[in-house]
Amino acid sequence: MNLLVSDYDGTFATNEKDIQLNRKMIERFIKNGNKFLLSSGRSLKSLKEQVIMYKIPYNYLGVSDGNFMYDEKDNLIMQNYMSSDIISEIEELLQLGIYMQIQYTYSRENSLSMKDDEELGSIAFVIERDKITEEFLELYKRVEKENPKYQYDVYSYKDIFYYMIRPKGINKSSPIIHLEHTLHIPKSKIYTIGDNINDIEMIRDYNGFMIGDNDSVRKEALRKYNAVYELIKDINNNKVLKRW
């Protein structure tokens, strides 16, 4: 049994033609006794909308960059939450009026406002490049220094920056590690593919491949593919490169 893990935006979903070809190959891949994890920075609600729209088969969905994982029946099988004490620690950050939005990640959907009745997975401060201030950077660094049990990641898309705070050690490899141990799949049979810096850990930690031209991802990937179905063909034909 092989496990294939694909990022969604920019990897599985590049264009309409490739989405359909990827979908057909994944369907056969699963029917042949393999497992497929679709991984994304999106929330469950957002990713499920895409899955339903394109009729994408899957065994697992990894959402919020590794915070949560669901099975094909939408059962939550892995979760990582932040403790409530972080909210008081970042009060000054929350009060700054420089953000496009503040994203609060919960197990099933993201919110632009805090929910008192749900456990929080992560917080992302979304800021345009020219709105980033020294005050914000100093506060963000201070929170990081004073709260070492959390993880502080910065992602960017064009001129939009995402300053994230989430439980330490969480990334897209987290759901894979969970499946590796619970399903007893050796690393030699785990393949990952992505296109952006939030995919780097899973590409580096496993037999990882890339789509696109991100230089940081290229340094970790075994090789570049143009589409996910090309990787599946190589796996099926035992022509795939391996790190493990």
Read off the pLDDT of residues 5-52 as tens digits, 9 standing for 90 and up.
999 999 999 999 999 999 999 999 999 999 999 999 888 999 999 999
Question: What pTM did the predictor assign?
Answer: 0.87
- 3-class SS letters over 86-111: HHHHCHHHHHCCCCCEEEEECCCCEE
Q: What confidence score (pLDDT) does residue 120 get? A: 87
Yes or no: say if 99 and 123 are a contact pair by the CB < 8 Å rule.
no
* Residue 122 CB-density burial (10 A; 0-12 exposed, 13-18 middle, 19+ buried): buried
Is 90 exceeded by the pLDDT of residue 99? yes
Q: What confidence score (pLDDT) does residue 20 get? A: 96
Yes or no: say if 147 and 86 are a contact pair by the CB < 8 Å rule.
yes
Exposure string for 205-243, b = 16+ CB within 10 A, e = fewer: bbbbbbbbebeebeebbbeebebbbbbbeebeeeebeeb
176-187 tens-digit pLDDT: 999 999 999 999
140-154 tens-digit pLDDT: 999 999 989 899 988
Structural domains in the chain?
3-79+171-236 (3.40.50.1000), 85-167 (3.10.28)
